[in-house]
Structure 1
C-alpha cells in the first residue's frame, strides 16, 4: 500500500487551509476565514502523533467567540515541511515566534496539548514579548515534568517506558507505521478516558491519525521531539534549556487537565505553581489525556472564559 500524501490532511470544513512560511520552513495552517482584522490571535499546537485536526472543535468555537484562531501542523507533521533537524526546544519556540510575526501580529495566545503545550511554555519564556497568555491541555511545565519523573514513581512508570523505547533508531518508526498505524490507535485508547473509545467520533479520529503518521517523514519527526526531550537532559544543551525554563512566567496561564489522564498525572500539573504562581487549573471530570477531544464543549467553555478574561 502506498503511503499517504501530505495533502490528505487538508480536510474540508468551515475553515480555509493556508501555507505560512516562518523560521525557514513552510507550515500548513487552518483557520476560519471571516475573523475581524483586529481580532486577537490564538495559535493551537497539537501533541504527539497528531495533526491540526485535533483542534477541529476549538477552531470553530473560538472563532465564533471573536478570535482569529489558527491551528497548525507542527514542524515535521501533516502537510508542514519535514526538515531533518530542528526538533529542539529553541527551534520549536522560534517556529511559533516566526508564525506570530508572519501573520502580522505582535502578540498571541498559545494553546497546546502535550508536546504542543511544551512548545507553548518554551515560547512564552524564550519570546515573552510575543506571548499574551498560554493555555495547556495535559502539558505540565518542563521543569515540573522532569521533577515528577525523578520524584514520583507513578509518573515515572507512566511516562518513562515510552520515552526509553523511542530512543533507539528505526525500530520505533517501524512500530508507529506498521499495520496501517495501529500503534497510534493503541496509544490513544490507553491514554483516553474509559468512554472515549465508545464515542461515535473515535473511529473517524483514529482513522485520520493512523493515516497521518504514515505520511513519509512524519513518524521520524514525531519521535525526534521525544528523543531531543530525553537525550538533551544528558547534554549541556539540555541543562542550558532547563536553566532558561527555570524562571517565573508572568503571563496568564490556564491548565486544563483530564481527571483520568493516566499518562500525565494530576499531581504533576499541580507542580506548575512554582513557575506559574497565578496559573488557573481546571480539572475536567471523566476524561483522560485528550480532554479537548473527549469533552469539547466543556473545554471550549473553559477556553472562551479564559480568553475573554484576558482579552487584549
Structure 2
C-alpha cells in the first residue's frame, strides 16, 4: 500500500509532456471521481501531505502533479507561465486521469486551475482556489498594447532575467535558516514548519536546472498576454469556484479576494475568509481545510 500521509504520499510515477518528464502521484481507486491537487510556487505535490488521504476516504481518486520547474518534474529554461502549466495539466487529465476532475489549487496552483477551467472547461468540474494570486488583480494589463510597447517590455524583462544572479541567489535562499525564514512568511502556524517541509522545498532548488527554470518563470509570467491573466479569465469561468483565503495571509492580502468577486457572478463563486491562517491553509490546518472543501463539494452535489 502506498503511504497515505507525509510528503512521500501516494503511488508515484512519471508522465511525458512534450520532451519533458513530469512527476505525479495518486491515492485511491481509478474508478472513483477524480480530484487533482495543484501546488503553489516553490512547493511540489508532496505539499499535500495531510490532505490526500481525507479526500480519498471521502470517495475521490486523488491525483497531484509537480508543475514543470518544480518538485521532481523537469526544469526547462523555456518561458514558463500559467498557460504552459495549464497545457501540462490538460494533457495529464486527458491521458492519465482520462476524464474531468475537481481541481484544488494553492496559490500558483489555483491560477493554473482557473486557466485550465477557462481554456478547457470540458475537463474541469469545479475549482477550489486557496488562495488565488495574480499581480494583475492589483494592476490589470491594458486590453491593447502598442507593438513598440510590447517589444520594449520583452527587451526589459529578458534583460533582467539574463542579468539577475539567480544561481547564487537560489544557493543562498536554500540555506535552511533563510529557507525557514521564507517559509515563515507564508505560514501563520510555525508549528507546521518542520524538517519535512524544509526538505520538500529545498531539494528542487538544489538541482542544476533550478536557475534556468526560475529565469523562465520570470520571463513567462511577466510577458503573459492579457487573456492569460486573472482579470480576463475570471469572467469566462463557467464552473463553480470556491475561494479560501487566510485572514493572516502576508503574501497575498485578503483584500485581493474582494477584487476577484468583482470579476465573477456571485452565484458561481463562494468566498470563505479563514481566521488565524496564512498563505498555506491546506498545510497549516489540513483537517479544517479538507472538511471545508468536502462540505462545499457535497453541498453543490459536485463530483467528477
> TM tier, shorter chain?
0.7 to 0.9
Q: Which residue of 261, 269, 276 maps to 1:279?
A: 269
Does 2:6 correspond to 1:16? no
Does 2:288 correspond to 1:294? no
Q: How far apart, CA to CA, are the structure 2 residues paired with 1:225 and 1:207?
A: 22
Q: Which residue of 132, 136, 139 maps to 1:146?
A: 136
What corresponds to 1:260 in structure 2?
248
Q: Which residue of 217, 225, 231 maps to 1:225?
A: 217
Q: How far apart, CA to CA, are the structure 2 residues paired with 1:185 and 1:135?
A: 27
Q: Which residue of 21, 25, 32 maps to 1:30?
A: 25
Q: How far apart, CA to CA, are the structure 2 residues paired with 1:223 and 1:305?
A: 40
* Residue 167 of structure 1: how far off its partner (Å): 4.8
Does 2:106 correspond to 1:119? no
* 8 Å contact from structure 1 (residues 22, 102) kept in 2: no
- Report the secondary structure of 1:87's partner residue: coil
* Residue 249 of structure 1: how far off its partner (Å): 1.2
What corresponds to 2:169 in structure 1?
175
Residues 1:274 and 1:23: Cα distance change in structure 2 (over 3 Å): farther
What is the TM-score with the length of structure 1 in the denominator?
Answer: 0.79
- Report the secondary structure of 1:247's partner residue: helix
* Residue 286 of structure 1: how far off its partner (Å): 0.6
Bigger mean CA deviation after superposition, 77-86 or 118-127:
77-86
Q: Give the alignment's Cα RMSD to 1 decimal.
A: 2.6
Residues 1:267 and 1:22: Cα distance change in structure 2 (over 3 Å): same
Q: How far apart, CA to CA, are the structure 2 residues paired with 1:246 and 1:261?
A: 21
Q: Which runs of 5+ in 2 are unaligned?
A: 1-5, 141-156
- Report the secondary structure of 2:43's partner residue: coil
* 8 Å contact from structure 2 (residues 11, 25) kept in 1: yes
Q: How far apart, CA to CA, are the structure 1 residues paired with 2:192 and 2:293?
A: 24
Q: How far apart, CA to CA, are the structure 2 residues paired with 1:284 and 1:21?
A: 37
Q: How far apart, CA to CA, are the structure 1 residues paired with 2:181 and 2:215?
A: 16
* Residue 179 of structure 1: how far off its partner (Å): 6.3
Q: How does 1:82-121 map to 2 (within 5 A)?
A: 82-121=75-114
* Residue 169 of structure 1: how far off its partner (Å): 3.5
Q: Which runs of 5+ in 1 are unaligned?
A: 1-10, 151-162, 233-237
